[in-house]
C-alpha cells in the first residue's frame, strides 16, 4: 500500500482535482480501495468536521472537501461493491412540505455522500407520501428531514406519522435539522436524532449506522 497522505491532504484542502488524480494513480498501482477509504479519506473528513466545529472551516470549505471526497469515492465505489462492501447507509433526504429552502439540505446531502452514504435527494417541498414511497422503493434505512421555516416544522411530524402509518417507521432512522429545529423538537415528534449543523449530521448518521 503506497503512502497516500497526499490524498488525505487533497480532501482536507477541498482539492477535488488532486483527490481524483491521486485516487486514479493509486488504483493503477493496485492500492486497496477499502484501506484508502478507511486510512486516508474518512480521517480527512473527520478532520474537516473538527475544523468546522472549531470555526476554522466554514460552509465553503466543508462543501469543497465533501466534493473532493465524493469524486474519489465515485471511482472507488464499483470496486468496493465488487468486494461486497456496502454503502454506510441509504438515505432519503428532503426539505419538508411547504418549505422551499434547500441550501442546508443540499449541504447535508453532499456531506453524507462524502461520508460514504448513498443519498436519494427528493428536493424541497416534499410531502409525506413522497418520503414514504422513496423509503419503500429504495429500501432506505435513513430519512433526513430539513426545515428552515418555523411554520413548516409541523410537516416533520406529519412525515414521521406517515412513515409509521405505512409500517416503515421501524425500518428507518429519522434525523431532523434546520435553523429553527432543536433537540427538544426532535424528541417531541419522535425523531431518532437532531444535529445542529451539516457536519454534526454526518457524525450522527455514521454513529447510528454503526450502532
- Report the interface residues with other proteins, using CB under 8 A: 55, 57-61, 63, 97-103, 106-107, 124-125, 149-155, 179-180, 185
Tell me how far apart the alpha carbons of residues 45 and 177 are, in angstroms, rounded to a whole number. 20
Q: Whole-number minimum distance, CB 189 to other proteins, in Å?
A: 10
Radius of gyration, alpha carbons of the chain? 17
Would you say 87 or 104 has its CB closer to other proteins? 104
**CB 150 to other proteins: min, Å:** 4
Nearer of residues 88 and 197 to other proteins, judged by Cβ: 197
Output 55 or 82, the one with its CB closest to other proteins. Answer: 55
In the complex, least distance from residue 50 CB atom to other proteins, rounded to whole angstroms: 15
Q: Copy the grid coordinates of residue 44.
A: 480527512
C-alpha dihedral sign at 50, 53, 56, 62: positive
Residue closer to other proteins by CB (options 156, 172) is 156
Kindly state the smallest distance separating residue 97's Cβ from other proteins, in Å.
7
Angle, helix 198-210 to helix 59-82, in steps of 10 degrees: 30
Question: How far, in Å, are 31, 46, 97, 139, 168 from residue 135 at the CA level?
Answer: 35, 28, 16, 5, 8
Amino acid at each position: 500500500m503506497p503512502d497516500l497522505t497526499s490524498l488525505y491532504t487533497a480532501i482536507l484542502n477541498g482539492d477535488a482535482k488532486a483527490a481524483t488524480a491521486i485516487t486514479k494513480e493509486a488504483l493503477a498501482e493496485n492500492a486497496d480501495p477499502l484501506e484508502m477509504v478507511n486510512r486516508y479519506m474518512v480521517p480527512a473528513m473527520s478532520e474537516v468536521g473538527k475544523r468546522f466545529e472549531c470555526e476554522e472551516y466554514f460552509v465553503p470549505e466543508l462543501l469543497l472537501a465533501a466534493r473532493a471526497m465524493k469524486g474519489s469515492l465515485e471511482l472507488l465505489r464499483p470496486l468496493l461493491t465488487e468486494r461486497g462492501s456496502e454503502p454506510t447507509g441509504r438515505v432519503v433526504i428532503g426539505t419538508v412540505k411547504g418549505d422551499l429552502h434547500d441550501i442546508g439540505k443540499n449541504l447535508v446531502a453532499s456531506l453524507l455522500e462524502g461520508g460514504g452514504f448513498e443519498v436519494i435527494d427528493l428536493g424541497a417541498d416534499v410531502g409525506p407520501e413522497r418520503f414514504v414511497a422513496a423509503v419503500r422503493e429504495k429500501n432506505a434505512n435513513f430519512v433526513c428531514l430539513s426545515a428552515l421555516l418555523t411554520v413548516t416544522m409541523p410537516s416533520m411530524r406529519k412525515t414521521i406519522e406517515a412513515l409509521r402509518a405505512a409500517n416503515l417507521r421501524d425500518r428507518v432512522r429519522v434525523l431532523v435539522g434546520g435553523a429553527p429545529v432543536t433537540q427538544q423538537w426532535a424528541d417531541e415528534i419522535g425523531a431518532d436524532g437532531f444535529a445542529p449543523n451539516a457536519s454534526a449530521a454526518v457524525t450522527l448518521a455514521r454513529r447510528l449506522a454503526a450502532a
